[in-house]
Structure 1
């Protein structure tokens, strides 16, 4: 569901079972993207900076998520608000992507870190 934002999906993509995909702040998925089972993509985040105000009343950020062409997200990957995953990248299973990933990178872990380049 877009939940007030938008979701754009390119050509020849696959999104496998049990994925949770929102469009709050805008979600763009390029062409030839592979998204494995149990992935979560939510382009929004709660603001929680003021401990004197309940989190539910502090609003959200909505920067958006962009997944460029020819990306593969392994099973269980979580992609957080404000992230761009560069073209041709591979994100290892179970990783949490909280910062943008350069093109043609292989990134793994919590938080996801680039361990190698494909080129």
Structure 2
């Protein structure tokens, strides 16, 4: 056999294996109770912890759980966790891309359409533990909803904390810690994240 023919067979085999694995991963995700729209794109298998509550993915959502072909290091797969309350919700809008991010909802985290969530981002709607010594044994003592509106880009390694709204079209610079609302069409950065400039 000629080398070109062998390479063609190898490419076909790899593509076939990828399609089969993708179907298995999508089926596995739905068995975890994730409500996924059509056109779901998976790169690797995400980690799902649905103790109670709902995880809802819109149309053509991408969950990238490995950094092959990605421009920066990704330290873990996408992690989606809802717990504590049956009303806990993670909702991700159509055409949004989640890349190795950790999203933990005790109350609710809503991500709009066409959002870019970069590698190693953490989005947490609760404190996890109280600040006072006596409260540190209590899990998730305070939770406030997070809203990420349409067309938002959250840069790599950023952290979005409870009660925050990221306005439509806003950008959070890499490594930032967002503790308060971000106005639409603005760039914020730093710890805590502050206004840098308005966007066109």
* Fold equivalence (TM over 0.5): yes
Structure 2 stretches lacking a partner, 5+ long: 1-80
How many residue pairs get aligned? The number is 116
Relative to total residues, which structure has the larger helix share, 1 or 2? 2
Q: Is the CA contact 2:126–2:140 (under 8 Å) kept in the aligned structure 1?
A: no
Tell me the equivalent position of 1:22.
104
Report 1:60-71 matches (<5 A). 60-71=141-152
Alignment of 1:37-76 (within 5 A): 37-45=119-127, 46-49=129-132, 51=133, 53-57=134-138, 60-76=141-157
Helix, strand or coil at the partner of 1:32: coil
Q: Point out the more displaced range, 64-73 or 39-48.
A: 39-48
Q: 2:160 matched to which residue of 1?
A: 79
Partners of 2:99 and 2:140 lie apart in 1 by 31
d(CA) in 2 for partners of 1:73 and 1:54? 31
Give TM-score scaled by structure 2 length. 0.55
Identify the residue that residue 91 of structure 1 maps to in structure 2. Answer: 172
Task: Kindly indicate whether the alpha-carbon contact (under 8 Å) linking 1:6 and 1:23 is maintained by their aligned counterparts in 2.
Answer: yes
Computed over aligned residues only, the root mean square deviation of the Cα atoms, in angstroms, reads: 1.4
Q: Secondary structure at the match of 1:57?
A: coil
Gaps of 5+ in 1: none
TM-score by length of 1: 0.91
Runs of 4+ in 1 over 4 A off after TM superposition: none
Match status 1:2 vs 2:85: no
Secondary structure of the structure 1 residue equivalent to 2:82: coil
1:35 and 2:78 matched:
no
Looking at structure 2, the residues matched to 94 and 84 of structure 1 have their Cα atoms a distance apart, in angstroms, of 18
